[in-house]
Amino acid sequence: MLLIITILTFVCITLGSIGLYWLIAGRGNPIIDRLKSAEKPKEEAGQSISIDPEENLAERVARPLNRLAPPSVNQAQKLQKQLLMAGYFSRNAQSVYRAVQMAAMLGFPVLVMGVCLLLTQSIFRLMLCGMVAFIFGFFLPRFVLNKLIKRRQQRLGWGLADALDLMVVSMEAGLGMNAALMRVSEELREVHPDISGEFEMVNLEIRVGRDRLQALRNLSDRTGVDDLRGFVAMLIQADRFGTSIGRSVRLYSESLRIKRRQRAEQAAQKAGVKLLFPLTCFLFPTLFIIILGPAALGIMDAFSK
């Protein structure tokens, strides 16, 4: 019975590997490929035929997952927003993410089940480890994506104060709001590339004809940082009511500096409480062993005699 189970498990893993290889590297239908090539405009003489960028590895890997569990409109929009918050602006970002998710969902179970087979584990433990590895591979890309979002939001918050100070100086020197944003993005490109890229994207949206208020709203939605949302709301109100934008930016920069100092003080006060748990778990038992160890050994010798 054990031999039959081993043979069936080997056959399933082999067929799964062959199917995955066919999905990744297999050729498509030749009739569909010929129709697609006929729909393309004819190249000029002497030019090489370019490969279709849509037929890449990520989309081929993500295609079975899209067939098995097609994302809804709300899920696709939510995933796109999360990828934008993480800093991935490519149009193939969703396909790459779902390809990585599918590779993790298939790779971890195969690896874990292969190790269990080498260790000659029981079939129940084999299936249990494979299920746990499948769940781990499903949630790992989401966890990594959330971590990337938090780190980028933290970098944006760190660079916003310097960007506002430079923007105040630029606007008081006579530059307009759009020119000041462009100047800030150029000056902070090496120090704070994230906030520089966001300001540069706002300038690009304004240049292509989008309304400045809508471009600023896209900035707040794209980043998800509370300080940037407050900054955008302040700019919109100043532009709507006709107040001085330079003075408003200066006041908001000062309030942001105060808020950053308060956050630093709060983190410093939390450090003492956070250090209590490592000291209790690791340092105090070691001190007790060093101090009370010789006495305990002496008491044991006395009672043994």
Look at residue 68 in the predicted model and tell me its pLDDT: 60
Lowest mean pLDDT among 17-21, 53-57, 200-204, 231-235: 53-57
As a whole number of angstroms, the distance between CA 95 and CA 64 comes to 11
Which residue has 């107040």 as its token pair? 243
As a whole number of angstroms, the distance between CA 269 and CA 266 comes to 5
Look at residue 50 in the predicted model and tell me its pLDDT: 41
Look at residue 273 in the predicted model and tell me its pLDDT: 83
As a whole number of angstroms, the distance between CA 248 and CA 290 comes to 62
Q: Are 202 and 215 in contact (CB under 8 A)?
A: yes
Q: Checking phi first, is residue 224 left (phi over 0); if not, alpha (psi -120 to 50) or beta?
A: left
Question: What mean pLDDT is predicted for residues 25-53?
Answer: 46
Q: Are 86 and 149 in contact (CB under 8 A)?
A: yes
Look at residue 82 in the predicted model and tell me its pLDDT: 86
pLDDT band, residue 48 (cuts 50/70/90): very low
Looking at the predicted structure, is the pLDDT value of residue 40 above 70? no
| Model pLDDT for residues 229-282, shown as the tens digit of each residue | 888 888 888 878 877 888 888 888 888 888 888 888 888 888 888 888 887 888
What does the DSSP 8-state code read for residue 173? T
Look at residue 147 in the predicted model and tell me its pLDDT: 92
Question: What mean pLDDT is predicted for residues 88-97?
Answer: 80
Q: pTM here?
A: 0.67
From the number of C-beta atoms within 10 Å of its C-beta (0-12, 13-18, 19+), residue 51 rates as: exposed
Q: What is the DSSP string of 197-253?
A: HHHHHHHHHHHTT--HHHHHHHHHHHH--HHHHHHHHHHHHHHHHT--HHHHHHHHH
As a whole number of angstroms, the distance between CA 271 and CA 72 comes to 43
Q: Are 167 and 181 in contact (CB under 8 A)?
A: yes
Length of the chain: 305
